[in-house]
Amino acid sequence: MRPKSPSHGIRAARPRPAVLLLALVLCLALPVAAVMALTWDIETVDSDGIPGYHTSLALDAAGNPRISYSEVGGDDLKYAAWNGTSWDIATVDSAGDVGDYTSLALDSAGRPRISYHDFTNGDLKYAAWDGSSWVVETVDSAGVVGQFTSLALDATGRPRISYRHFNNGDLKYAAWNGSSWDIETVDSAGDVGPYTSLALDSAGRPRISYYALTNGDLKFAAWDGSNWNVETVDSAGHVGYYTSLALDSAGQPRISYQDVTNLDLKYAAWDGASWDIETVDSVGFLGWDTSLALDAAGNPRISHHDASNSDLRYAAWDGTNWVVETVDSAGNVGGYSSLALDACGNPRISYYNSSSLDLKYAAAEGDCPAQLTIVKSVTGSGAPSDWSFSFTSDVDGFSLTDNHPILTYTNATPGVVAINESNPAGYATSALCDNGDSATGGNLSITLNPGDDVSCTFTNTICQPGYFDTAATWACAPAGAGYYVDTVGASAQLPCQPGNYQPNSAAVSCLQADAGYYATGPAATAQTACPSGTTSPAGSDSISDCVPLPPATTLLYIAPNRNNGMVDGVAYMDEDIVVNTLGTADWAMYFDGSDVGITKNLTDFTFTSDGCLLMTFNGNQNVPGVGLVKPQDLVKFCPTATGPTTAGTFTMYFDGSDVGLDASSEVIDAVEVLPGGDLVISTKDKFSVPGSPLLKGQKNDLLLFDATSYGATTLGTWSLYFNNTQVAGLKKENIISLTIDGAGDKYVSFWDAYPNVGGLAGNENDILIFHPNNTVTKFWEGSDWGYTGRVHGLHIGN
């Protein structure tokens, strides 16, 4: 086994804080900030034994330092974590002589992962904290392996490790695939692999800087997805000790390292075509244990050991020159340095004090303002395109407009900041920041941490019709019953005026009181019916508007549909409708089918709210203006004249074949239209119509059709409106006409005589009433009023 050497561990690339921008609508680029001399706070982390070899530093999300290192007195791997007050020290692995060449990374939850060398067994090992204990495993044990480890985690937190195979003099790479380690040789050309440093690009592809012993060169290897591309970065002399690699925001590699020939600190940067190489520090014996990090703008910072003065040094590029300073000169310090930058770009360094045999930590503090951006968004149908909203804040007052909707504070003081929008009427307001702060309303409290770049959007959603905002709240409230809002952006609800009412909330208008009703006001929530026997014109606002009703006349309309006949001197055909004044034997012709081209028997009919009729026929009928109409269809007839000389126009209203009425048994026998426009239908015999499951029934059942579309293309759904089992004795009778009144009473007639329906018997010129409680009464017997034909279609009205 190769003896332990004083060569030092390598750190993985660090995450970068967000770039600060100065903006008022536009974002202006900042020049590179000048690097000022820093004031360093230095402390001892661990002095138990001989701690501090092979340090590796990482910062958690809050900027708290975590350090892995070797304690060579006990030959253990150790870990130190700052808890905000003191350092928590833990032994990670003490099984044998372990802990050289540590490399530390934190997963997305801040849990540490460490790669390191097991000197006793000559293995590469890996330790991961699971939240309660350290889980330690051997990654590679094939030969003497695991020196010069460098660890990085991919986007899913899976570890990747570069390291050296001592026996073969190779550079190797290990990647955890979720269940095992995939291990491969990256470079075996000569004796290579000391001082590895690993970084992953944005796609998770590894890049490695390292030293080639054979030629004394600095080398770089990059995985392209299929192969390792290896190149020489610097071959001017004996160069490439203590490499440290970082990638800039574009994924371009930057490397710090030692020029062994001249004992200088050097820096190489790939510009996309070639390597730019420069000497960073050459005053003395420099460049031991380099560690590289890039600030938010991509400017390099390097910690390293000055062997001539036994100091820890720090170099920072200011955009023009390297500014180099001594961090610690108290004793022989600076070995095994590891550098990280906090969210503000302030450097933190872990390192070894070989005089006192301690692990040490240095931190430089600088100004770290936050950036806060306020964005105004105005949304909602009808929102204005020209707007302005006012704000107050802990800093000053300001306005945001459609021309200038964004304001950015580039030097906001960390802490709690209040931004308050002046409550605008007519809008619902909310605020949401990308750091999670939010407000339902316009009074927002934002917590800014040092270095934060927070953007907060105040959204004003204009109130839609039916809603209003008084500026006393931050929300659009629905108009209450008795009120309405008919515009967008309303700041108040309006009361319904006398003669109008509104029972619902969120209304955009009021309802006019119907004829026979009145609505007092303002802000009436209901209309009141006139006293019995009185009526009023629509829009009435007082009971005084109610006047006595004229004497009512109730009419009975019948479609005979049984050959030809005569009643009260009125000759009728089976395509006609005759009308009777109820309670008398007075009859008249209402609809003469032959006048408008009807030749088939008129099976049933009903009246629509616009004074037209829906009708169906007992066979295929060529209807003027429509064409062929089947007995499963309904046409709409709008008369221009009724009586002995009938005139008007037809249109197709209901196509039964579109909705499953197509069998001969599914001829429409009876039809009624309900106030909402739904149809109630009885068929000639058994029916089977679409439903889930299939809806089946008899000729004395009633179907309900809920339409979404009437006309040539009929669409809708079926349900059962009435089941024949609801009425005692209703068995084989065929319902051939139907009228339903406002109380839910169903007026029906049958094709033939009925022996016992609800305890009643009679024949085909009777009209029965099926009451909502399923009792039955006889309403009308045709022979009493001179009518002896079949009632095959009926309607009762005024």
Residue 642 to residue 590: CA distance in whole angstroms: 6
Residue 171 to residue 210: CA distance in whole angstroms: 8
Tokens of 357: 């045999």
Contact of 767 with 741, CB cutoff 8 Å? no
Those residues whose C-beta lies under 8 Å from the C-beta of residue 258, and which sit 6 or more positions away, are 239, 240, 241, 242, 264, 265, 266, 286, 287, 288, 290, 304
pLDDT of residue 602: 93
Q: What is the residue type of 370?
A: A
Contact of 163 with 150, CB cutoff 8 Å? yes
Helix (H, G, I), strand (E, B) or coil at 66: strand
The upper half-sphere exposure of residue 612, i.e. CA atoms within 13 Å in the direction of its Cβ, equals 14
User: Taking the chain, what is the end-to-end CA distance rounded to the nearest angstrom?
Assistant: 114
Residues in the chain, pLDDT under 50: 1-34
Please classify residue 73 by burial: count the beta carbons closer than 10 Å to its beta carbon, then call 0-12 exposed, 13-18 middle and 19+ buried.
Answer: exposed
CB count in 10 Å sphere of residue 652 = 19
Residue 437 to residue 442: CA distance in whole angstroms: 12
Residue 427 to residue 388: CA distance in whole angstroms: 13
DSSP bridge pairs for 151: 161
State the residue for tokens 């945001």.
Answer: 400
Helix (H, G, I), strand (E, B) or coil at 657: helix
Contact of 209 with 218, CB cutoff 8 Å? yes
Those residues whose C-beta lies under 8 Å from the C-beta of residue 429, and which sit 6 or more positions away, are 421, 423, 441, 442, 458, 459, 460, 461, 474
CA 423-428-433 angle, to 5 degrees, is: 85
Residue 49 to residue 45: CA distance in whole angstroms: 12
Residue 186 to residue 351: CA distance in whole angstroms: 30
Cis geometry, peptide bond prior to residue 522 (ω within 30 degrees of 0): yes
DSSP states along 436-496: S-EESSSEEEEEE-TT-EEEEEEEEEEPPTTEE--SSSSS-EEPPTTEE--SSS-SS-EEP
Residue 181 to residue 160: CA distance in whole angstroms: 9
For residue 639, which of 676, 677, 679, 592 has the smallest C-alpha distance? 592
pLDDT of residue 293: 98
For residue 603, which of 569, 635, 638 has the smallest C-alpha distance? 635
Residue 93 to residue 133: CA distance in whole angstroms: 11
CA 57-248-195 angle, to 5 degrees, is: 50
Residue 396 to residue 487: CA distance in whole angstroms: 34
Q: Tens digit of pLDDT for each residue in 351-396?
A: 999 999 999 999 998 777 888 999 999 999 999 999 898 888 877 8
Tokens of 300: 């390099």
Residue 228 to residue 184: CA distance in whole angstroms: 10
Residue 243 to residue 195: CA distance in whole angstroms: 6
Contact of 627 with 651, CB cutoff 8 Å? no
The upper half-sphere exposure of residue 265, i.e. CA atoms within 13 Å in the direction of its Cβ, equals 31
Question: What strand order describes the sheet that includes 170-176?
Answer: 145-153, 159-165, 170-176, 181-187
What are phi and psi for residue 517, nearest 5 degrees?
-135, 170
Tokens of 8: 């030092």
Residue 755 to residue 758: CA distance in whole angstroms: 10
Contact of 313 with 322, CB cutoff 8 Å? no
